[in-house]
Structure formats: structure tokens, C-alpha cells
Structure 1
Amino acid sequence: MSGFDFTIDMDNLNPAVWFGDTPGKRVCLRLCSPEKVEEFREECTTTKKTAVLNTQTKRMEIVEDCPFDKKKFSQLLHCYSIADWDLDDVNGNPIPCTDENKLKLMEVPKFVQFINECIEELAEQAGIRKKDEIKNFESSLGG
């Protein structure tokens, strides 16, 4: 068992951490708490009730279908996990840290790789994720 070697900020239980030390090339990330992940799962799952004919009994039955919107779930994770950034475009202009821009950059393989590596490091620093859980999280980010 490891010692209790960290401090707790009760006003910010899930702090974001900056990665990168070059101005215009820094990203601030945070991990999703299990509660936040569950909130996103619920938001991405819709329950549909449909009347269908049971071919054996010849009666109508109500069937529940709960489709999961994986794309929306990934987008929510991206937008939450990327707390802020200091990024410049090729002309040196700052790129605003908006949800729209976060999702655009998550289409860039090099950016995704960087984010995945930083999330893995953040998780290891937090000491709360196992390698398999990190890989599952990365796969939801498109890694």
C-alpha cells in the first residue's frame, strides 16, 4: 500500500494540468471522474419503446431499445477533458478554445496522439487508473 503523499483542494477536486512548455503549444487537461463518465453515458443513451408483434403469441408487446450514441459520448469526453489551451495556428494566431475547435483538432492524428499521451501521464500521476482503463479511455478518444 502506498503512502498518502498528495494534497487535496476541496474547492477543486478534479484539477486540470497543463502539458507543454512552449507558448502557443500548450494544452490543459483533466481526467473524467467516474460520476462524470456515467453522466455522459446517460446523456448518450436514449430509451425507445416500440410495440412489436410477438410471432409466437401473436400479441403486441412493448420492447425497450436503448441505443448508445458513441460519437456523442466521445465528443463529450473530448470537450470535458480538454479544459483549456494556449495554441496558435500556422500564422501565429491564437486558436480559441471552443468545443467546436476541440472537436476539429480531435480529427488530427498528431493532436490525438499528444492528448492520449498526456491523459495517460495524468492518469499515472493521479495513480487512479490501470493500464487497461487508460487504453479504454484512449480508444474512446479515437486513439
Structure 2
Amino acid sequence: MNLSKVNQKLLKLGALTVGTFVLFTSSAKVLASTPGQTNNKSMLLAQASRQEWRICEQKGENWSEVKYFESKNYFANICRNSNGQLTLVAGAKSNPNQLLELPVTGEQGYLAIDGSKTFMIDNTHFSMAINGMVVRKEQVTYRGQ
């Protein structure tokens, strides 16, 4: 493999990692809040709230859920709108009323860009990068379709 192809593969891997972590550190202070400590009782609350966090259909009758993800502190919906466009709608579990909503691209995962911030989610991780540097990354703990 020549150096150019190696560099391209490393760039793609870096973008995927950065994007996953970027997903959950907010562009509009959505994901910037620090969640509180959890205990067994709050975990039951988190499970009870899952339906509230699955919000694609709440956006309108022409919206549908493509995928749903959760990590310890965040939730993310990949929604399809009436134009067929994929949209990331995500937030912190500690503040579910403040949402990040961005158009999505991606084949190996879902990538959303907001200025210098890149949010990425795939079946294993959420991540956020600022100016290409991963600043937050969490493991996906729940996936739904």
C-alpha cells in the first residue's frame, strides 16, 4: 500500500473517530451540560425515559426513526424527514429539552457537522471533535430501530 492510500485510510479512520465523539458535545450548549451522578434509581428513570428520547415521530407525521442510540449520558435519534434527508436529533439525558438538530451524512456511521464541531455516531460510539481533535467519546450502551 502506498503512502497516499495509508494517509487516506488514516484520515477516514480519524474522521470516523472524531465524528463519533463530536456527536455529543453540543453546538448550542446542547451537549455541554455535565450530567449528574447516576445510581440504581436513576438508571430506572433513564429506562423509563427512553420513549421520551425517541422523538423522530414527535417532529411530525412525515418524520420517521431510522436508528436510535444511547450512551451513559446522551441519546441520539437518526430521523428521516419528508424530503428523505437524514437528521441527527440528540441531547444530554440530564437536559433532554435542549436538542441539537443537524443534517447527517455517512455510510459507516452518521456524521453531522456544525462549524468547527463534528459529531459522529456508529453502532459502538458517540464522539465529538472540535477542529479535528476528539474531545469527547462515549460507548453506545443501547441501540434501537
Report the TM range for the smaller structure's normalisation.
Answer: under 0.3
Relative contact order: is structure 1 or structure 2 higher (C-alpha 8 Å, sep ≥ 6)?
2
Q: Which is helix-richer, 1 or 2? A: 1
Q: Which has the larger radius of gyration?
A: 1
Q: Which is strand-richer, 1 or 2? A: 2
After TM superposition, the score normalised by the length of structure 1 is: 0.25
